[in-house]
Every structure is written in structure tokens, then in C-alpha cells.
Amino acid sequence: MNNKYESHSLLAYEKSQALDLEPKLNFKKAITGELTQNLSNLCQNELIPFLLQQFGNGYWGQQCLNIAPQTFMILQHFGIDCELVYGEVSINGTDEFDTDYDELVKELENPGTAGFAIHVWIQIGKDFIIDPTVAARINKYYSAQFPSHQIILGKSKKLLKDLKLEYKPMLAGAKYVTKTCNIPLKYNAEAV
């Protein structure tokens, strides 16, 4: 693997398996131009209006633990093979959440004992990212012209090149949210 995101994602997958999170990531899934266009259309035309109705048009930059699992469930409902990923995102070289792997594991082992720093997004295949909340942070801290309520999506290299977003996966699996936040999530799409 020549992509830093891909190697970190694979490591997060392996660590998550060892922690019994049962991640369902299909690293062999082909991300075609057609799939990318379909996902983009789905996010713009279906997901954003739904999320705005659910969460309002306030600041979403600290809402990833609420909004990403909801997005995951909608994508699963549409039969899209995806997984929740937990870690850090860097914007223009600045880590946004100070996420720490050991803290993520502590929260998993003893949920609710303290607030923990985390960013959550959705991954398809080996490196396709869907992030419903990071746009709010870009708008608030980096560029007021950047639309705050949009879903950022694309391959990790393209997001790094075009938007200076570097994703750092640490754990994966919907079971993490179920265990730490008591949000029951189901897979409807099978990772094949």
C-alpha cells in the first residue's frame, strides 16, 4: 500500500478486530467514478436535507458522534457497504480533536467515565471517506466562505490535496459507538 491513509486504515482494522469491534471494511471494493457520482448525489440531495432536519443548521463541528452514525445508518439503508471510523483529522496541518488511540481504548473499556477526544467519519473501500461534520470546522476556523453544511467525500489523497484534510484512522466498527454511546447500529449492507 502506497497510501498513508490506507496503511493506517488497515492497522486500525486489525486493532479493532483484536478489540472485538468486528469492523466490516472491504479493502478490495472498487471505487468507480460512477459510485463516486452516485454517492455525491445521494449526499447532496438526500442526506444533507435529512441531517439538517434532524440536527438543525447550527454548528456541527462537535457533533460527529451524533451525525456520523446517523449518516452510516442511512447509507446502510441504501445498501452501501460502509463502516464507521474513529480517529483524528488534520486541517491545514493542525490536528482538530487531539484524538489519542489509548484514550479511545479507555473509553471503550470503561464508557462514560470522562469526555474523550474523537472524530468519526465513514469509510468505503480502502480509502474513500464520507465526513458529514468537518465542513463546519473548515467554515468556522479556516474559511468563512466554505459551506458549513455539506458532506465532504472523496478518496483520502484527493481530500488531502484539494482540501488539506488528512484523516488518521485509529479504530473502526459500528460496535464502538454501540459500546461507548449506547447507540445500537446494524449493518444492512454486507461487506463483500
pLDDT over 70 percentage in the chain:
95
For the segment 163-179, the average pLDDT, to the nearest whole number, is: 95
Does 191 fall in a domain? no
CB atoms inside a 10 Å sphere around CB 15: 18
Return the pLDDT at 114: 63
Question: What residue type is 80 in one-letter code?
Answer: I
Q: Quick check: 190 pLDDT over 70?
A: no
Does 192 fall in a domain? no
Spatial separation of the C-alpha atoms in residues 40 and 169, rounded to whole Å: 22
| pLDDT, tens only, 73-101 | 999 988 899 999 999 999 999 999 999 99
The alpha helices in the chain, defined as continuous H runs, are: 4-18, 33-42, 48-55, 64-77, 101-109, 134-137, 156-163, 175-181
Does 189 fall in a domain? no
| pLDDT, tens only, 37-54 | 999 999 999 999 999 999
Spatial separation of the C-alpha atoms in residues 20 and 108, rounded to whole Å: 11
For the segment 65-74, the average pLDDT, to the nearest whole number, is: 93
Spatial separation of the C-alpha atoms in residues 110 and 114, rounded to whole Å: 9
Q: What does the DSSP assignment read for 78-102?
A: TT---EEEEEEEEETTEESS---HH
Return the pLDDT at 69: 95
Spatial separation of the C-alpha atoms in residues 58 and 95, rounded to whole Å: 22
CB atoms inside a 10 Å sphere around CB 82: 26
Spatial separation of the C-alpha atoms in residues 88 and 21, rounded to whole Å: 18
Whether the model pTM is above 0.75: yes
| pLDDT, tens only, 95-126 | 999 999 999 999 999 887 666 789 999 999 99
Does 187 fall in a domain? no
Spatial separation of the C-alpha atoms in residues 102 and 116, rounded to whole Å: 10
Sign of the Cα pseudo-torsion (175, 44, 35, 138, in order): negative
Does 102 fall in a domain? yes
Return the pLDDT at 191: 46
Does 9 fall in a domain? yes
Confidence of residue 192 (pLDDT cuts 50, 70, 90): very low
Instruction: List the domain range (segments joined by +) for residue 71.
Output: 4-181
Does 190 fall in a domain? no
Backbone angles phi, psi at 119, to 5 degrees: -125, 145
Contact 129, 122 (CB under 8 A): yes
Domain count, the chain: 1
Return the pLDDT at 30: 87
Does 10 fall in a domain? yes
